[in-house]
Structure 1
Amino acid sequence: MAYVPGVALLVALVAGCSAGSEADDTDADSKAGSPKVSAAPPGKYRTLPESCRAVPPSTLRNLLPGAAELPEEQQEKVYEGTATVTYDTDRKVGCRWKSDAPDASRNLSIDFERVVSYDPAVSDDDRAREVYATKVDAADLPPMAGSTPDMVSGVPDKPSSGSPGGPASGTPSGDAGTGGSTDPGGSSGAGPDDELQPRLLDGLGDAAFLDDVLTRAGSTAQHRTVSVVFRTSNVIVTVQYTEQQALVTAAPDSRELQEKAQALARNLAETLNE
């Protein structure tokens, strides 16, 4: 009989453990029925191209005609370009080129931005749509007949703040237009053609637009900057092509700059999809 208390204690411990197991099972069953939150899918692109090698030499020779007149060693330096300073090459890269000729100088820049959403409920693509929409708003494109906010940005957004039928008034980033006037589209002294106005573009990435700004800064020569911006999945690409004439009275040809900038943008889009 001396061992009875010990036996009773053992039975009590076993019973307590069984009760605890049942409680744990109940908790597990209740959690199993709870809704699960799955993370939004990542974007298509995990890396970015090497920007200064993204444009073929033949294309650079076409976009920077003044470089062809330079000695071979200087030509190579021009075509190498200058990489944009960035702190995270997995998120943003860019390159710049410049050439000078007796009649005009030309500048070309390309920038790749890989958008990443840090919100598990928001996909990289959705976040990229939001970033792209801010760029459309900043360009302040003229309203287009029949266009809707989702056509502009890819997601419902507020209408452009530009006046109905008015030209784009913003100066593209990197364009030294402070204190000067701007004239989108056509040549100086003439109304811009409708087809050359800043506008949305079709068939380029998931969404794209073109901006065109002619700047006059006091008595200096006029320069025109054509910007083509497009989004493909979670990457946003910006092409800026600028020409400054040597003569104060001359204005860069809008059509030529637009055609070349668009051609380059389409080539970059194809390269990203390879």
Structure 2
Amino acid sequence: MQRKAYVTGTAALLAALLAGCTSGSSGGDDITDKNADTGTSTVAAQPGKYRTLPEPCGAVSHDTLDSLLPGIAQITDQDQRDKAYEGEATLTYDTDRKVGCHWKVESTDATDRLSVDFERVVSYDNAVSDDNEAQTIYTQRESAADIPESAPPSATVSESPSGSASGTPSPSASSSTSPSGSTGPSGSASTSSSTSASPSTAPADLQPRTLTDLGDEAYLDDQLSGSGSTAEQRTVTVVFRTSNVVVTIEYEEQPMATGTVPDSKEMQDRAQNLAARLAEDLNS
């Protein structure tokens, strides 16, 4: 009987010891897991403001197209004019992320081209917001455009009710005349206003530069191609970012007459006016 009691007591003691070890081990694991979870938890970056993009060919009003593409007013056939207003959508495989539209219209004085592109940026990194990703893309484009660091930023040009730039015409534009000796009509792509110098010799306020009061950040580029022996084509580009959408406007003009140079201020004013309208529509 004494031997049985001894065995029973020993078993009870071992069971108690095992229970205590198991309880302590379980509690330690819970604390470790909680600490690990707290140390590795992160907050996902905020999504961008924009979830959709506008219909690009309908984003530019007829009045604005009349200003940028003077040849539309010279089209007598109504069906052809309507087609010119419609533009042509840019081929894209994901209209939720990127859309665009371009127009090309010839007049008696020049061929004008306009393209408008919208890109909605989405970050696939939880640590990087859509806005920050869009800012990176914008900065890359500004760097590629090689905008001079010394170029002073300028405000966008306000637009008058008539749809034309309210800024005062540049001296070169106001003093130039057509071959007949009369000044060309305002807002038309005539040879009378096509006497501006190239960006390298243009006034500081017409040089490629960053822009203020346009989206979150913006820049304008102005490039002239060709030589005095050929018709020189000017391309004015305005790029701006608002939240996670990057908008690119390219406005080109190539005069018909050899040696003619498109007016820089006039084209810049028109492109900036369009950019301001698009930025306002995005934020409405």
Report the equivalent of 2:86: 80
Report the 3-state secondary structure (helix = DSSP H, G, I; strand = E; otherwise coil) of the residue aligned with 1:238: strand
Query: Superposed, which structure 2 residues align to 1:1-274 within 5 Å?
Result: 22=27, 25-26=30-31, 28-31=33-36, 33-70=38-75, 71-144=77-150, 186-187=196-197, 191-216=201-226, 219-274=229-284
Cα RMSD after superposing both structures: 3.0
Runs of 4+ in structure 1 off by over 2 angstroms are 14-35, 185-191, 217-220
Counterpart-to-counterpart distance in 2, 1:61 and 1:245: 17
Distance change >3 Å, CA 98–CA 202, structure 1 → 2: same
TM-score scaled to structure 2, two decimals? 0.72
Preserved contact between residue 186 and residue 196 of structure 1 (Cα < 8 Å): no
More helix by share: 2
Counterpart-to-counterpart distance in 2, 1:27 and 1:102: 80
1:30 Cα offset (Å): 3.6
Distance change >3 Å, CA 33–CA 39, structure 1 → 2: closer
Report the 3-state secondary structure (helix = DSSP H, G, I; strand = E; otherwise coil) of the residue aligned with 2:39: coil
Show CA shifts across 1:4-56 (max 9, x none).
xxxxxxxxxx9999789757644554445434211111111111111011011
Distance change >3 Å, CA 249–CA 145, structure 1 → 2: closer
Gaps of at least 5 residues in structure 2 are: 1-18, 154-194
Say how many residue pairs are matched. 232
TM-score scaled to structure 1, two decimals? 0.75
Preserved contact between residue 210 and residue 220 of structure 2 (Cα < 8 Å): yes
Return the structure number with greater relative CO, CA threshold 8 A, min gap 6.
Answer: 2
- Percentage identity across paired residues of the two chains: 52
Larger radius of gyration: 2
Report the 3-state secondary structure (helix = DSSP H, G, I; strand = E; otherwise coil) of the residue aligned with 2:237: strand
